[in-house]
Structure 1
Amino acid sequence: MIRVLLVEDEQRVAALHAKYVESISGFSLAASAGTVEEAISVIENQEIDLILLDIFMPGPHGLSLLTYVREKEKEIDVIVISAASDMERVQKAIRYGAVDYLIKPFQFDRFEEALKEYHDKRAFMTQSRQVSQEELDRQLLGRGEQDMPKDIPKGLTKATLNQVWEEIQKIEDAFSTEDIVKRVGISGVSARKYLKFLADIEVLDVRVVYGTVGRPVYQHTRNLSKEYIMKNFL
């Protein structure tokens, strides 16, 4: 669970953003602060993973908190949420290490997108394994996504794809085509088509397991670092 500190001085706005945070899976609101001083007190006394930071507040402005976090080498990420839209402040926030910048007012979809992309990148960065240059480019630079399918292939439906994906997300270990047939209630032929599509867009990794008798079994596992791609198809 990603622990969020919301730094916003307007109570009505803070309440709305808090509601947004709690509605997104994988995130919990750890604390709220109305000033930079309050925010510093929180991060010195609680475990915080992500700060949602306004810039215009009473006392020191929000960017001073971003500077504090970097100077103290806190392992905390920051997404700026502010009415400030001038390029000088945007550039300063990015240079100080903000991972995203939302300009008020914004739609919930943009807020949700920011948090989900952060969730996926955090999952990618915390994996204890070697990564390829291609994987790194796709996560950090968004390269390679232009080669991905833009639409669901003919013969597949968004509704069934959503069902398949929901069931896959419940599975922690490797699974077979037969597992999806049982969980979703579709035919083996259909299950293979949906799993092939998910493998083609790289949200599933596939390996072949050869038994002593019969056909080889295809084992699928979720590729956590690529799950953000699914938002393009659901």
Structure 2
Amino acid sequence: MSRVPDRAADAERSDISVLVVEDDPVAAAAHTLYVGREPGFRAVGTVHGCAEALRFLERARAAGRPVDLLLLDLYLPDGHGLQLCGTLRAAGHATDVIAVTSARDLAMVRRAVSAGVVQYLLKPFAAAALHDRLERYARYRDTLGRTGAATGQDEVDQALALLRMPERTALPKGLSAPTLDTVAGVLRAERTGLSAAAAGAAAGVSRITARRYLEHLVDTGLCVREPRYGTVGRPELCYRWTGGPDGPDVPGRP
């Protein structure tokens, strides 16, 4: 009796498998959700430290289902993400790595490249930014996943360019990346939320300017807008960060 092909299982096996390695539960859940929404990708697990990630990868390889890609935070409770990269290479794992981190030190970026990190994505980011990196990674795999030899240098250069020259996700007109980072950092530092006036005062911008950046963070899913009720009068709108604690300018963050 012939077996009917399981098309769903075949499609699942052809998807790029992704392990999310992130110590903050909120950020881990968000990254896993983003991956799950990306066509051609499949989140196979979420772990919160280096040792747990290594165990997961070893089990997956032993089961004949090696993980294709890590979304890797660099600052983990039991070690540094780049140390994990070195351990994986020494153990023979071919898993690719996209670093998802707030570490902006250029020396760290150089170390990440040396450790084999294929993409470096700074927090905070919108879903569109991760979508861009994953889409480019998929195209890179498609280009270099074929058998045989490259037709020439141009083919190799084009494949690597997909990883090394990502398109910048455009901000709305009138918004700047440095001010966005400042406002996001102020909001992350005040976990209970801030009004536009309070956020503007802390960031050194006007209330109106702060509100524009806060509304952009709401639109990108990194914070929520909610009313705060006082003793008298109308409720005040406050903004509360929901994208995790590892963003820019957070006191005490390495």
Output one character per residue of 1:56-103: Cα deviation in whole Å (capped at 9) or x when no partner. Answer: 111111111111111122111000000111111111011110000001
1:84-233 equivalences in 2 (<5 Å): 84-133=103-152, 134-141=154-161
Task: Give how far 1:6 is off.
Answer: 0.4
1:2-151 equivalences in 2 (<5 Å): 2-46=16-60, 47-133=66-152, 134-141=154-161
Amino acid in the other structure paired with 1:139: A
Task: Give how far 1:140 is off.
Answer: 1.6
Query: Which secondary structure state, in structure 2, belongs to the residue aligned with residue 79 of structure 1?
Result: strand
Query: Which secondary structure state, in structure 2, belongs to the residue aligned with residue 28 of structure 1?
Result: strand
Q: How many residues align?
A: 143
For structure 1, the residue ranges without an aligned partner over 5 or more in a row are: 146-234
State the identity as a percent.
33
Give TM-score scaled by structure 2 length. 0.54
Conserved in 1, the CA contact under 8 Å of 2:19 and 2:67? yes
Query: Which secondary structure state, in structure 2, belongs to the residue aligned with residue 80 of structure 1?
Result: strand
Distance 1:117 1:74 in 2: 22
Query: Which secondary structure state, in structure 2, belongs to the residue aligned with residue 81 of structure 1?
Result: strand
Considering Cα pairs closer than 8 Å and 6+ residues apart, tell me whether 1 or 2 has the greater RCO. Answer: 2
Conserved in 1, the CA contact under 8 Å of 2:97 and 2:118? yes
Distance 1:41 1:27 in 2: 22
Task: Give how far 1:125 is off.
Answer: 1.2
Task: Give how far 1:109 is off.
Answer: 1.5
Distance 1:6 1:15 in 2: 9
Query: Which secondary structure state, in structure 2, belongs to the residue aligned with residue 99 of structure 1?
Result: strand
Give TM-score scaled by structure 1 length. 0.59
Q: Which runs of 4+ in 1 moved over 6 A?
A: none
Amino acid in the other structure paired with 1:140: L
Conserved in 1, the CA contact under 8 Å of 2:98 and 2:117? yes
Conserved in 1, the CA contact under 8 Å of 2:21 and 2:71? yes
